[in-house]
Amino acid sequence: MLDSLKKIAIGSDHAGYKLKEYLKEYLQKQKFIIKDFGTFSEERMDYPDPIHPLADAVNKNEFERGIIICGSGNGVAIVANKYRMVRAAVCWSEEITKLARQHNDANIISLPARFLTPEQGLRYLQVFLDTEFERGRHLRRVEKISQII
């Protein structure tokens, strides 16, 4: 894991709750400081409720990285990407996850809980945390993402 990365935000809807708890347990064992934005059960709820405050905190640089989880990974990513400095990427394979970090400097990983095992989710999270942004030609592109037109 990145030595400098010690604080991480995490949040999910009801479909992602079990995976969130699984990943939280791992991160706690790795000595991360975790802020859990919810949800806190499998009771049905609206995914924007925990994701808006999480994405806002990443947007304000209170957390360098975030983890968001729902059934498909899409709903929570759409919410998170409303924030100017957030780059949330839906990740369902190691290669996609690695490219999201290397080329897009994704600062939030969005996981589709209904389409992967907890072990896969953990592996993708590890890749997300371990992979550096390549900068170079990608930096110009990433800077353009944050521009409001």
Q: Which domains does the chain show, CATH number per domain?
A: 7-145 (3.40.1400.10)
Q: What pLDDT digit, counting tens, does each position of 33-49 carry?
A: 999 999 999 999 999 99
Give the active site residue among 14, 70, 91, 138: 70
86-110 in b/e form (b: 16+ CB < 10 A) is bbbbbbbeeeebbbbbbbbbbbbbb
Q: What pLDDT digit, counting tens, does each position of 51-104 carry?
A: 999 999 999 999 999 999 999 999 999 999 999 999 999 999 999 999 999 999
Local confidence band at 142 (pLDDT 50, 70, 90 cut-offs): confident
User: Is 70 an active-site residue?
Assistant: yes
Q: Is the pLDDT of residue 130 over 60?
A: yes
Rounded to whole angstroms, the Cα distance separating 112 from 91 reads 8
Rounded to whole angstroms, the Cα distance separating 97 from 65 reads 14
* Burial grade of 71 (CB within 10 A; 0-12, 13-18, 19 or more): middle
In this prediction the pTM is 0.94
Query: Half-sphere exposure of 91 toward its Cβ, with a 13 Å CA cutoff?
Result: 33
Which residues are 112's β-sheet partners?
70
User: Is 103 an active-site residue?
Assistant: yes
Q: What pLDDT digit, counting tens, does each position of 94-116 carry?
A: 999 999 999 999 999 999 999 99
Rounded to whole angstroms, the Cα distance separating 88 from 81 reads 6
- 3 state SS for 90-123: ECCCHHHHHHHHHHHCCCEEEEEHHHCCHHHHHH
Which residues are 68's β-sheet partners?
11, 110
Q: Is the pLDDT of residue 1 over 60?
A: no
Q: How many CB atoms lie within 10 A of CB 33?
A: 10
CA torsion angle for 76, 22, 112, 44 (degrees, to 10)? -60
